[in-house]
Structure 1
């Protein structure tokens, strides 16, 4: 069977496909955990290293800069060398970034670590998504994608809950980053086992393709209709609000509301937790009743009172955070599928 032509080989057994999914999802766990290691120590960076909020913000901006600069090139690397090699490459860089970030209190070294994470983490997500398409096309593709995202969200939740399960580590700024660096090694572990499983499968089974690559035509950017650009503007505005807030939320809860660090982390975890549970349910609801534009408007209106409640009242923190979690579930559940309705399939 080993030397049989690809057309004559059987498909991989179901258990084999789900084993592959488990290990590439493990890489996603480490990826998402590494991103969220800064928020729980933001106040410690200020107290122990005299970092300003601007410097803490730069730790996130350097990630974004790396992602923006490298994401297109990362896609080219995936197309050129395949998902197996790309996942390994980006997984290794992700893991290295965690150790660079925790190695020194020098802001320049930490910025380098976060930059390395940005230029590898986002392409790693693309590579893993392409790998799932390769292994599950024509099978349980949507469900497999959902499981992969579920595991990734657990990485975010684990980071937010780390002040609870690793309370002793939060006596200084560095130990939580050390924990994050070692958990980031799951990117390499997952990529390595995926490499072995796929290499073995290539000789025994008929594998799918990740999909054909369309030619990039920059002029097409100016041919999208007005509705597409409205969705794009909403996407930019929405995530520009959510991600900076999550970056500073734990610090804000501690300083402005005198919350315990563990409780502040648990509150911050409500957003990814809500997305895990509510987003697919909202998607099912919207598929049944429609009203996409109306429900997106409702989601944006829910956001309006959230930050005044947090900033100017002493209302229980659960109320605005739950509202934010609802919006965080509602808007993406409608926004992303809406693109399929307003953009031609070939584009």
Structure 2
């Protein structure tokens, strides 16, 4: 019996295993956020140092705030460097090559990271954990590119935003479960076994990579697309990067500035909540910080359906940035319960992810989608890496102080506000440029169905080609 790859159930089967690719790696990514106290805790509690006026002591790895934030910064920097090459290689060598290589790197990186935790109190701790995050970042960021490329192939012109929303939901399910269960697991089994548990979940992603690769291969052959994709891949040239359209770059910087206000905040949110708001312990703070991902987990699929139905991706990009402004203002200058702000940020994050990332396949050709996704991820990670470094400097670098002063947290939130304001400006520019061209980002579903697909569209419009020529 022939496999009906042209039926809806087949592409949703591909989507299911495609979603599982990053479930474990997203769980691992924010383990340091949940266990920030343990990462920055004392090497030993034998002397019973005071914590918040009590005799409690958190035993941990003894990292400073700067070293802790470096774990996130090196992840982002690695992504920034690797994903450019990774996107190009995926375009040239195909999804199956990428999905095996990068899922393996997430397993290897998480294993090295967990191994590093066994060397606390030695000079080997930080180098091993940084190498682990470097390998993990090399795999996870690139794996997301393959995931998006597979999703775009199977759902372009169909339920694209829904498919992107579901992949985000599965990924964020890993993040949410991390915020709910990691602290409890660590309290029973210790930080080392907790990190090895995260490694085991990355192995789940590797198994899913094998399955989705097989489904993708069989499906392409059934559809008669395997040869066509290979021919397109031969034509891909790294020099095509110079001809990516202006609105692609505006979209990329819009994504970067928005995410600069999300990921660096979540990385330190648990500690921030404990320091600023009285009565919150570590586990409660982790739950509240994780509410950003709780919202996206619940809303992403529904938001994807909504955006598939009404379009207006460019307008949503502006609204997401504008509506995020009050979040950091509330956190910085009021004592409104932090759960209000984290849930609010989760809602705007859900709309941003479902409107911004699925817009990339609409403005670049299918043959260069991996390269375009790689560049977008690279710029995003450069921004996040720099933000993590800046946040580390703002919060202090001398020692792992028990409580960081409120004025330092306010400076951090002001930095988040500055990124969000920058996102507003780039998203407005994006809409202006899009309107002057074919306006595809803001077309409704019925109107956009008649638009020439990006796979067949030229890299540059005639107006942009003239502009480039005049510059050269």
Provide the TM-score with structure 2 as the length reference. 0.61
CA distance in 1, matches of 2:150, 2:240: 25
Question: Counterpart in 2 of 1:157?
Answer: 176
> Secondary structure of 2:112's partner?
helix
Deviation at 1:12, TM superposition (A): 6.2
Question: Counterpart in 1 of 2:243?
Answer: 220
In structure 2, list runs of 5 or more residues that go unmatched. 42-59, 118-124, 364-430, 439-453, 460-472
CA distance in 2, matches of 1:65, 1:322: 28
Deviation at 1:281, TM superposition (A): 5.2
Q: Is the 8 A contact 1:11 1:207 kept in 2?
A: no
Aligned residues: 335
Correspondent of 2:280 among 259, 280, 293: 259
Question: Counterpart in 1 of 2:49?
Answer: none
Question: Counterpart in 2 of 1:91?
Answer: 103
Q: Is the 8 A contact 1:134 1:207 kept in 2?
A: no
* Residue 296 (structure 2) pairs with residue 275 (structure 1): yes
> Secondary structure of 2:350's partner?
helix
Kindly tell me: are residues 252 and 75 of structure 1, through their superposed partners in 2, closer, same or farther at Cα, counting changes over 3 Å? same
CA distance in 2, matches of 1:315, 1:156: 25
Deviation at 1:145, TM superposition (A): 3.6
Question: Counterpart in 2 of 1:6?
Answer: none
Correspondent of 1:40 among 23, 29, 34: 34
> Secondary structure of 1:157's partner?
helix
Deviation at 1:330, TM superposition (A): 4.2
> Secondary structure of 1:38's partner?
helix
* TM-superposition CA deviations, 1:48-86 (whole Å, max 9, x none): 222111111111111111111111211233233321232
Deviation at 1:139, TM superposition (A): 6.0
* Residue 112 (structure 2) pairs with residue 100 (structure 1): yes
Q: Is the 8 A contact 1:286 1:334 kept in 2?
A: no
* Residue 214 (structure 2) pairs with residue 192 (structure 1): no
Kindly tell me: are residues 86 and 334 of structure 1, through their superposed partners in 2, closer, same or farther at Cα, counting changes over 3 Å? closer
CA distance in 1, matches of 2:24, 2:280: 27
CA distance in 1, matches of 2:314, 2:157: 28
Kindly tell me: are residues 17 and 44 of structure 1, through their superposed partners in 2, closer, same or farther at Cα, counting changes over 3 Å? same
Deviation at 1:305, TM superposition (A): 3.8
Larger C-alpha radius of gyration, 1 or 2? 2
Q: Is the 8 A contact 1:250 1:261 kept in 2?
A: yes
Deviation at 1:182, TM superposition (A): 1.1
Deviation at 1:224, TM superposition (A): 1.9
CA distance in 1, matches of 2:319, 2:92: 43
* TM-superposition CA deviations, 1:205-256 (whole Å, max 9, x none): 34545954554434436x626xx66554443322112110011112222333
Kindly tell me: are residues 198 and 243 of structure 1, through their superposed partners in 2, closer, same or farther at Cα, counting changes over 3 Å? closer
* TM-superposition CA deviations, 1:94-136 (whole Å, max 9, x none): 1111110010231111011111111111211122233344555
CA distance in 1, matches of 2:281, 2:86: 40
Q: Is the 8 A contact 2:270 2:285 kept in 1?
A: yes
CA distance in 2, matches of 1:233, 1:123: 19
* Residue 260 (structure 2) pairs with residue 243 (structure 1): no
Superposition map of 1:19-38 within 5 A: 19-38=13-32
* TM-superposition CA deviations, 1:248-286 (whole Å, max 9, x none): 112222333342333222222222232344456556379
